Structure 1
């Protein structure tokens, strides 16, 4: 494993909180997408990622690996999740308006979903309580496989991405007094309020 990738893997597990197979698969997916696009990790908003992971299923950890690899993070608002419940991403080069889609190879994923790790998770065992001798070989296997074994990678295609402009304009909610940026301001009885106060009866 290259030193840079090894460092990212260490960063991933520290950020993610536990070892599991899905997070390094997300890391590899992000790296594969960047390689195909010919781009570097986003320092700010040079890239935008659409992650199809969704929620409430066995491999949601995938998205944390994608964030670490690409630099597309929820804090920078250059990543979004759809509810497709798939391990796939579309990575967009914002300036060039080019994109690539990377999806987990179904044959590889099926083998992973039949692993002892997933069986234990399905029985209610927390990931941090699964023995290293079960999880570490899965991670090692993921990190040494070539991209074409792990993923289906599209050709680069045009993507007319329109970035939402950030704002520095803010208001004080006239009901709760908290600061709210203009995208979240609503009018209620002629007063500028936040979304939470707007929804109150």
Structure 2
């Protein structure tokens, strides 16, 4: 069984600062892993579809998800859907089974409107500068939350996952000379060019 407390030190080192949202991600990810009965992803055994976006108050949630699941941007087995929701779907690519986990709406509302940590953040105080007397008790509270008090966990469902082969070949941009994986080369006026160089050509 996956337990969030077992991942907290790793998550904190990876994430960089103390806050309530990262351990919320740890807790939610553990719930998803236990529901699917899977192991941490070493390669692309798992795929995670995060419904979060950028620059919103609890974006640190995603670092907790990555810490537990082993889904990372480097392995290309996590994607942001930019829905602006505190939710995600975890997919077992081998069994083609998945589970969707979301934070309960009332829980999110309470955090955003009543949390002293969020109140400090709204003042423009960086997360690492929020008084530990505020942050530490909130983290401890999060790590001891019962799943039913803050998570909605779907039944495990079938997911028609289609594996995309990795691109193993690169060539060179005829304009800047840099190496580019061949699926991202564009062909303009008889030249093969990278995306930034193609944009510059289009602007001329």
Please classify the TM superposition score into its range, dividing by the shorter chain length: over 0.9
Q: Distance in 1 between matches of 2:173 and 2:15?
A: 34
Please name the residue that 1:119 is paired with. Answer: 119
Cα deviation for residue 178 of structure 1 reads 0.8
Gaps of 5+ in 2: none
User: Does the 8 A contact of 2:52 with 2:87 survive in 1?
Assistant: yes
Structure 1 residues 3 and 193: alpha-carbon distance in aligned structure 2, compared to 1, 3 A threshold:
closer
Q: CA RMSD in A?
A: 1.5
Please name the residue that 1:177 is paired with. Answer: 177
Cα deviation for residue 109 of structure 1 reads 2.0
Structure 1 residues 154 and 4: alpha-carbon distance in aligned structure 2, compared to 1, 3 A threshold:
closer
Task: Determine if the alignment matches structure 1 residue 196 to structure 2 residue 192.
Answer: no
TM-score if structure 1 supplies the norm length? 0.95
Task: Determine if the alignment matches structure 1 residue 33 to structure 2 residue 32.
Answer: yes
Please name the residue that 1:152 is paired with. Answer: 152
Q: Distance in 1 between matches of 2:25 and 2:157?
A: 21
Cα deviation for residue 17 of structure 1 reads 1.1
Q: Distance in 1 between matches of 2:170 and 2:101?
A: 38
Q: Distance in 2 between matches of 1:159 and 1:5?
A: 26
Number of aligned residue pairs: 200
TM-score if structure 2 supplies the norm length? 0.94
The 5 Å alignment of 1:132-143 reads: 132-143=132-143
Please name the residue that 2:163 is paired with. Answer: 163
Task: Determine if the alignment matches structure 1 residue 64 to structure 2 residue 63.
Answer: yes
Q: Distance in 2 between matches of 1:40 and 1:3?
A: 9
Gaps of 5+ in 1: none
